Every structure is written in structure tokens, then in C-alpha cells.
Structure 1
Amino acid sequence: MENAALLSAIVKNAIDGIITIDDLGTIESINPAACKLFDYFPEEVVGKNIAMLMPSPHAGKHDQYLKNYKTTGKPSIIGVGRELVGLRKDGYQFPMKLGVSEVQYAGRAIFAGFIHDLTQQKLDEERLKNYASHLEELVEERTKSLNDTIEALQTAKEKVSHTLEKQVELSRLKNRFLAMASHEFRTPLSSIQLSVSLIEKYFESGDGINLSKHLFKIKNSVTSLTAILNDFLYVDNLEAGKVSASNSHFDLVEFAEGIIEEMQLLAKGNQNIIFAHSGIRTKVYLDKNLLRNCVTNLITNAIKYSGDTCCIDLKTQINDQGCTVTVHDDGIGIPLENQEHLFEAFYRANNTGNIPGTGLGLNIVARYVVLMKGTAHFTSSQAQGTLFTLTFPIS
């Protein structure tokens, strides 16, 4: 009796629908989950043919399945899970997975059907399919933009190849670009290619968790490629003389606090970004967008080249001599032999290892600072980290 009560409790509280029928297809029992799924009360279905819960053509085929099984002994759906369509009381049709087991009880055959609603799973699969399609379009778009950028670099090569000095400089830049591109482009593109292949596999098996994981990897890879392309576009605009300082008055403290709030979200592990301001005055007259690019670039580098538990200091100061912005980290530092070339395009220190980067960020910072009539310099050691200082005159 205790076992029977336990079994009854399990059936009544199961999250999937459970229906039993006899060898003629007549419903003998239905649990609460199945009642909720089909929107019937037990008394409305018990004693009736199971076909009432199926739309055409499944309803017409079900009795034939049972007849064939009784005649041949060969099951077509018994013991095999398959996807079907269920019919609710109000006529609504929904996808479901049905598993049927045969039970010999009291000298007769009883068939137990276990029903799992696939509505949400199908919606999730369709949404993921659409998202993957969108990401593929985005990758194609970014690839085209990359090709356009490479064409622009080729045009720049033709313009500077008139003199030997320019040819030598171009060759040097080209070698650095190829070395950087072979690594920085290959890594995210390889990740995208692998994830797309795995998505096809997991989509067929309905593995939503792994689908989401690889879609997230594709999204991050596209973001990395976008950042690289943006660096190229910034440099291209600078070379073409399309960038100029457009100064305005703004509060430097509010500006810095906003950047800290944004950048803290990108920090690694337990990294902490700390801000401090010196001086009574807080207003400056500079190009807000150019300065934002400079500061975020320096903090991004500090995050990237520092440990997970370091502190990064952003300090601002306004006095009679001018405005100063400093960013300090206690990261890996810059080797002495690399320091004189650090602001050059495509140049990276030899201790960066596998840390990603284009070698363009500090070149852009230095040129933006000059556009605002300021100066940029740094001090660094592999023991004490790096301090970047941006100084601007008071207008």
C-alpha cells in the first residue's frame, strides 16, 4: 500500500503529462500535468479515445498504430520518443515530445504515454536561429569594412611611395601591421568559425545551453574585430586631416567620474579604479570627445596589462599652470628598450606576450593630445608599473 501511495503521489506531482490507455486507445487515467497541458478535466477525457488529444492526421493514425502492434507485435512508437502535435480543448495546437511504454498489468496490456511540452523549446530554437543569422550578417558586414580598410591602407601606401624615406617608413609599418593582423584578426575569426560549426551541431540536438555559449563567443569576437577596425578608422581620419579639436567648457570632475563608472564594468577580477581631483577649479576648455578617447584608452591599457587585484589611479588637477590628467597602474611595465618607440603606430612592447592589441591606441592618444595643444609623456618600470601624464594649457 505504501508503494502504491508513493507511486500515485509521484504521478500526480510529475511536471510532465502522463496518460494511460488500454489496447483500444481508450484513456484510463490522466495526471494533473496532462490535464493542464490539454486544458481538460479528468472526467472529460477518461473513457474516451486518445485521438481526441491529437489533430489530423495524427488522430487518424493512432488507432492504426495500436492495431498493427496487436497484429504484428512490432512497435512503431512504443519505446521510441518522437515529436508530435497535441490538440488542446480550445483547438490550440502545440508541439510535444511523446514517449510510450507498454505495461503488463493484471493480465492485460496498458500503454503509458509521457508527454513533454516543447513550446518554449521551439520558441528558443527559433530565436537562437534568428540570432545566429543576424550575427552572420554582422560578420559579413564587418568583413567588408575590414576589406575597405585594407584598401584604404593600400591607397595610403601609393601616396607615400614617392620618396625613399616614405617607402622605408611604409615598409616598416606594413611589417608591423601584418604581424599584428595575422594574430589579432586570426584569433576572433577562428573563434567565430569554430563556434558557427558547433552551433550547427548543437542546434540539431536542441542543446540550448551550448548554443547560447557559442553565440556569446561570436558576439565577443565581433566586438573585438569592431574595436580593431575603429582603431584603423581613427588613424585613417587623422592621416587624412579629418580630425580637429572642437573645444567646449565642461566639468572635468563629472567627466572623469562618468568614465570611471563605465570602465569599472570592464575591469578584471578585483581590479579597482580610483579617481581623485586636485585644485579648486573643475571647469576646462577642451575637446570632450578627444579627451574621452585618450583617457579610456589609457585606462583600458591599464586594465589589460595589470593583474586581477591591482588598483588603477586616475587623477586630475587644474591650477594656474594648466590642466593635468594622469593614469597610473602597477602592471607589467614597459621595458626600457621599447619606451622610445611606444607612441609609434603598430608598435607594441616585447613583453606583451599573448595580450591582444593593435599597437595603435597610444599613437592615437598622442596625436589627439597634440590636436588639443597638449603634451603626453610617461614613466615606466617593470617593477613599479606605468604612469601616463597628459598636460594641457589653460585657455
Structure 2
Amino acid sequence: MEKARLLNAIIETAIDGIITIDERGIIESLNPAALRLFGYQLEEVIGKNIKVLMPEPDKGAHDGYIHRYQSTGEKRIIGKGREVRGLRKDGSTFPFRLAVSEVQYQERKIFTGFIHDLSREKEAEERLREYAAELEELVEERTKSLKKTVVALREAKEEVSLSLEKEKELNQMKSRFVSMASHEFRTPLSSIQLSASLIEKYAQPFENKHIEKHVSKIKNAVGNLTTILNDFLSLERLEAGRVEPNFSSFDLVKLAEEITEEMQMIAKQDQNIIYQHTGLESTVYLDLNLLKNCMINLIGNAIKYSGEHTFIEFNTEISDEQCVVTIKDNGIGIPDADQVHLFQPFFRAHNTGNIPGTGLGLNIVLRYATLMNGTVHFESNINSGTTFVLSFNK
């Protein structure tokens, strides 16, 4: 009796539904979980054929299953588990996984069905399909937008390069470009970046690698375009004389360590930035923002033009006479014929190939360093790397 009460308690409190029927398909019992799933009271289904809980076509085929089993012993209705649909009292259907076992009890056969509701799983799968479809549509839309933006930027760059020959034409072009960049590029780029971040956030519960891949592509493309746009806007501000150094005392070592950590996050695989400071002092009197921009630009170039599994040396030194910042890589180097033109705006060395860039970064670094009364020196050899040195007198 104790075992019977325990068994009954287990059945009554089971999360999954449990149904028993006889050889004719007549319902003999349902546990509370099964009654909740189908929406019936116990007295409404006891003694009725199991077909009352089946939608078509399973309902029409059920008698055939029973007949074949009784006449041939076919085991199709017995199984470890299969996905079927149930019919609720209100006429709605729901998916569930059904496992059926045959029990010999008091010289007769009883079939026990174990029902696991799949509604939530199916809803989640449907939402995932919808998210994937929306993502594909968004990726296609954003890709078209990015292509148009890249084409527009390329055309703008070519137009600026040609207009540099005449000062009057350059001024006119700068005004047009700054207006276009501010209004036509920044807003859609911010929208694309935000949309990509939201998609990544909403898709996290589903752990879909395809979603992560496409979101990463969008973010990388936006990052490249934003860098190009920032370079153009920085050049325009310099040309217009709107950049003035704001000298202040700050901790150079702290700034360099923060930049090292920031740039390490965007470095290539197994590409390590090694920072070292020389000297007892760590405080300098320069423009923090301009110096930070110079460091980030030079380290970014080192990352971009060096391969994976390489080291980038980042050194700072403060002596009694001067402050020196050194960035050294083991990258592709700069051809001798190109070195004389290296700091000209829009100039790029001939061995850069398909590596993205505007040709403005080093020109901006030189002009920022000059504003702080500093100098820029470099040494480079093909396939042996490049060293840039920023020097500032105290």
C-alpha cells in the first residue's frame, strides 16, 4: 500500500502528462498535468476513445493503428518518443513529444503515454527563425547601404585629391565635404552600429554563430568607415586652423598603459603590444588629447601593417631634456622611394595593397606633434619593420 501511494503521488505531481488507455484505445486515466494540457476535467474524458485528444490526420488513422497492432502485433504505436500534435478541448492544437509503453496488468494490456509539451520549444524555434530572417534582411539592407557609403567616400577622396592643386578649389571642396560627412555619414553609421549591437543583444539567448558572424561583419565595416570619416574631419579642422593645443600636466605612464590596453583589444591574433617606460619621472606638460591621438594612430598603423604572431614595442622615456615616445613594429616596412612623401596628405606607400587606410594618419600625427613643439622621426626597411619616434623638449 505504501508503494502504491508513493507511485500515485509521483503520477499526480509529475510535470509531464501521463495517460493510460486499454487495447481498444479507451482512456482509463489522466494525471493533472495531462488534464491541464488538454483543457479537460477528468470526468469529461474517462471512458472515451483516445481520438478525442487527436487532431486530423492522426485522429482518422488511429483505429487503423489499433487494428494492425491487434491483428499483426505491429509495434508502430510503441516507441521511445516521437513528435505529435494534441487537440485541446477549445479546438486548438499543440506539439508534444509522446513516448508509449505497453504494460501487462491483470491479464490485459494497458498502454501508457508520457506527454512532454513542446509549445515553448517550438515558439523559441519560430522566434529564432524570425530573428534569422530579419537579420538576413537587415544584413542585405545594411550591406547595400555600406557599399553606397564606401563608393561615396571613394569618390569624395578622389575629388579632394584633385582639388588640392588649387587653394580656392580646396576650400570649396572642404566645405562641401564636411557638410556631407556630418549630415550624410555620421547619422546612418551611428544607426547601423546601434542596430548591430541590438541584434547581438537580442540574439544572445539563441547562441547562433551565423548571427554573431554577420553582426561582426557589420561592426567591422562601420568601424572602418568611421575611421575614414574621422581622418577627413581631423584634416579639415587642422586646415581651418581650429586645432589649438591645450597644455596641461598629466601622467604619461598611465596614459600609455590605458592606450596599450585599448589597442591590444583590436590587435590581430597573437599580436602583442609590449609597453615599457624609462626614467624616474612620469609627468609631462603636453596636450593629452593630441598626444593620445598620435600614439593611437602610430600603434594602429603598427597593428595594421604587421602580421599575426608579432610583437609591437611601445616605449616612453622622460629625461631631464625631453620626452620621447617610440613605436616599433616588424611589419612590411616602407619602400625607400616612398619615404620622402610619407607625411603628405592622402599619400600611401605602394606596398600597402588592399590594407584599408586614407593616407591621412601620418600627416595628422606630424601636424599634432608640431603643434606641441615636437618632432617626428622614423626609420624603416622593407619586410623588416618601421620605428616611429615622437620627441618633445621639456
Q: Give TM-score scaled by structure 1 length.
A: 0.61
| Aligned partners of 1:334 and 1:386 also within 8 Å | yes
| Aligned partners of 1:263 and 1:299 also within 8 Å | yes
Change (3 A) 1:243 1:49: closer
Match of 2:208 in 1: 208
1:296 CA displacement:
1.0
Which range moved further: 130-139 or 254-263?
130-139
| Aligned partners of 2:84 and 2:98 also within 8 Å | no
Match of 2:386 in 1: 386
Give the AA of the match of 1:357: G
1:120 CA displacement:
4.7
Cα distance in 2 for residues equivalent to 1:85 and 1:148: 58
Structure 2 spans left out of the alignment, 5+ residues? 1-10, 41-50, 66-76, 174-184
1:65 match: secondary structure:
coil
| Aligned partners of 1:149 and 1:233 also within 8 Å | no
Please list the CA deviations of residues 146-196 of structure 1 after superposition, one character each: whole Å capped at 9, or x if unmatched: 899789879968986756xx779x99xxxxxxxxxxxxx9xxx9xx9xxx9
| Aligned partners of 2:83 and 2:96 also within 8 Å | yes
2:307 match: secondary structure:
coil
Cα distance in 1 for residues equivalent to 2:207 and 2:94: 17
Match of 1:260 in 2: 260
- Within the alignment, does 1:241 sit opposite 2:253 as a pair? no
1:286 CA displacement:
1.0
Match of 2:276 in 1: 276
Structure 1 segment 246-395 matched on structure 2, within 5 A: 246-394=246-394
Cα distance in 2 for residues equivalent to 1:25 and 1:346: 83
1:250 CA displacement:
0.4
1:121 CA displacement:
4.5
Match of 1:43 among 17, 24, 31: 31
Cα distance in 1 for residues equivalent to 2:32 and 2:383: 80
| Aligned partners of 2:55 and 2:86 also within 8 Å | no
| Aligned partners of 2:290 and 2:368 also within 8 Å | yes
1:125 CA displacement:
6.2
1:390 CA displacement:
0.8
| Aligned partners of 2:17 and 2:37 also within 8 Å | no
The alignment's C-alpha RMSD in Å is: 5.2
1:257 CA displacement:
1.3
Give the AA of the match of 1:275: Y
1:72 CA displacement:
10
| Aligned partners of 1:321 and 1:393 also within 8 Å | yes
Cα distance in 1 for residues equivalent to 2:115 and 2:360: 64
Cα distance in 2 for residues equivalent to 1:356 and 1:137: 23
Give the AA of the match of 1:234: S
Cα distance in 2 for residues equivalent to 1:275 and 1:120: 48
| Aligned partners of 1:26 and 1:49 also within 8 Å | no
Cα distance in 1 for residues equivalent to 2:28 and 2:370: 85
Sequence identity, in percent?
40
Cα distance in 1 for residues equivalent to 2:320 and 2:219: 47
| Aligned partners of 2:20 and 2:110 also within 8 Å | no
| Aligned partners of 2:82 and 2:98 also within 8 Å | yes
Cα distance in 1 for residues equivalent to 2:211 and 2:244: 45
Tell me the number of residue pairs that the alignment of Structure 1 and Structure 2 aligns.
321
Structure 1 spans left out of the alignment, 5+ residues? 1-11, 30-41, 54-59, 88-94, 172-184
2:237 match: secondary structure:
helix
